[in-house]
A and B are shown apart, each in its own frame.
Chain A
Amino acid sequence: MEALLDILQGLHPEVDFSTCDTLIDGKILDSFDIVTIVAEVNAEYDVAIPAEEMIPENFNSASALWALIEKLMDE
């Protein structure tokens, strides 16, 4: 998960990703960020996030995104 936090921190150094759970609802992440995150997650963990997982719930917090990545790595 550390690498994921690095990716997120690189985009928004001012956000505490260990606690924030309103990344989408609070309009912290925008579509530019989402594209970057998906590309970097793909490079780091070798998982492709499929379109049906592109829903707000999976991006609202670092832990939700991490849970998604773990699920995809298991498949």
Chain B
Amino acid sequence: MQKTNVLEYLEDTAARLPEKTAFADDDTVFSFKTLMDQSKAVGSFLYEQGITKSPVVVFMEKNPKTVAAFFGSIYAGNSYVPIDAEMPEHRIKLIFEALNSHALICDEHTKALAEQYEFGGNIYLYDDIASHAINESGLASVRARHIDTDPVYIIFTSGSTGVPKGVIAGHRSLIDYIESLSDAIGFNEDSVFGNQAPLYFDASMKELYQTIKHGATTYMIPKSLFMFPIKLIEYLNEHRINTICWVVSALSIVAVFNTFEKVKPEYVHTVTFVGEVFPVKQLNIWRKALPDVKYVNLYGPTEITGVCCYFVVDREYGVDEVIPVGKALKNTEILLLNDDNKLAAPGEIGEICVRGTCLALGYYGNAEKTAAAFVQNPLNDKYPELIYRTGDMGKYDENGNLVFMSRKDFQIKHMGHRIELGEIEAVVHGRDGIERACCLFDDVKKKIILYYVGDASEAEMVVYIKEKLPRYMVPNFVQKLDHMPLTPNGKINRVALKEKYNSK
């Protein structure tokens, strides 16, 4: 029987490998049985509070307990919404407003923040509810009413108007992703993952769900190690980590310091990278040091639940080449559509559109944005069929592999995150005394650039932005101008600003 709920992975594995380590960090180790028991306890508590069929905010530091809070929310029939303590107050408040949720699970580190940010519903401390008596009959009644198109999580991504958008994934899409990614890359019970991605970022779904599917193990790597590459590699070796699915910036930090001349990962056999294009120069440093490792480029926006394309690096690439995003995962089709909404001819650039079970359910409470991005397949006028328009432009290379080219709009990829430059501009405009602001992106040096006109020093501006936006959205170069260059029809002249930046 096909799975209809992701918890079936956890239950199957907990029955098969109850004592095996599922998730661990420096302080906490959860076996599959502990993970399931605590998830059920949290679920039973929420069920008895009447919290079901609604989004539950999980506002905790990264920890095995956080995973149990996710699954506990699902046990009670809810979706979970991961929020990170490092997100700035302004963004968290916007997310709380968008959700209007009734329940939030926190830990002792985030409890004061959750109260301070005026979360409107009930706030529960994880440790208080994780030992609640398990109510098997209550959980069974929830499961009996479950169908696989019910939401499983909501992940917030940058929105161009300044308000983050909550992408709702359903169980069926997530199960489709877990199965097709597993087939494509070949994870198994011996996989030992070293998790880098924050849990509010859908890149972390790889470790989370492959671990419970296969009975693998995930170590949550302390964030500070990503500053000190030798210690990072020593950590991988100490825990015999063999599979890493990191954002490109994390892999790059190891490469740029020639870390491999001092110490090499001894067990790693699979490296996947996601979030942005991996510079070939740095990939080649990895390949030279670890030639037998399988390197896989993954591509996919949150709206198609995880990843839709993958490419196994098959040869040496030159520094002037781009590593393709490759081919679609099983049960997913890519439609490359040109401006006329027809399939792009070979070699022609088109918008990458995605068709399949992987499509998210939409943006939470935002019918307008949902209708703009999830649209009727223009190649099909016979019955309702949605595709997701990614806004990414791509083309096929001579081997039939999809290659990412650019963005259609002002969205960028930076530090593995999707960012709307318009969201940064909206925040800057929101400060008193600011007249005009414009953000650019330096694609070569990977820097966000901000020019503005108004009554604030550059230092004040940076401090202000840091209060409002996540670290990865804070511009790397900020300059105040006396006048904003304008085009003849009065728009900000982005070309002139780019020239100004390049000639500085």
Contact = CB atoms under 8 A, between A and B. Distances in A.
B261 A51 contact: yes
A52 B262 contact: yes
Given A51-B259, A54-B229, 15 more contacts: A12-B462, A13-B458, A14-B459, A29-B227, A31-B226, A31-B227, A31-B250, A32-B472, A35-B256, A51-B257, A51-B262, A52-B230, A54-B228, A54-B230, A59-B227
Contact of A14 (B223, B229, B249, B463): B463
A35 B227 CA distance: 8
Contact of B477 (A10, A48, A56): A10
Interface string B250-270: 101100111101110000000
A51 B258 contact: yes
A55 to B, nearest CB: 6
Given A14-B459, A50-B257, A35 B249 contact: yes
B498 interface: no
Contact of B476 (A11, A50, A51, A56): A11
A31 B258 CA distance: 16
Interface SS, A side: helix
A13 B253 contact: no
Interface in A45-62: 48-52, 54-56, 59
B477 A51 contact: no
A24 B228 CA distance: 11
Nearest to B258: A51
B471 interface: yes
Chain B interface mostly = helix
Interface of B: 223-224, 226-230, 249-250, 252-253, 256-259, 261-263, 415, 457-459, 462-463, 466, 471-472, 476-478
A1 interface: no
A35 B476 CA distance: 12
Contacts of B256: 35, 38-39
A35 B253 contact: yes
Nearest to B257: A51
Nearest to B250: A31
A5 to B, nearest CB: 14
A50 B258 contact: yes
Nearest to A53: B257
Interface string A16-47: 00000000100001111011101100000000
A20 B256 CA distance: 27
Contacts of B458: 13
A75 to B, nearest CB: 15
B465 to A, nearest CB: 11
A51 to B, nearest CB: 4
16 contacts: A13-B457, A13-B459, A13-B463, A14-B459, A14-B462, A31-B226, A32-B249, A32-B471, A32-B472, A34-B253, A38-B257, A50-B257, A51-B259, A52-B262, A54-B227, A59-B227
A13 B250 CA distance: 25
Contacts of A30: 227, 471
B381 to A, nearest CB: 47
Contacts of A35: 249, 252-253, 256
**In the complex, which of the residues A38, A50, A51, A55 has the most CB atoms of chain B within 10 Å of its own CB atom?**
A51
A55 B252 CA distance: 17
Contacts of B249: 31-32, 35
A38 B472 CA distance: 18
Contacts of A54: 227-230, 257, 259
Contacts of B229: 51, 54
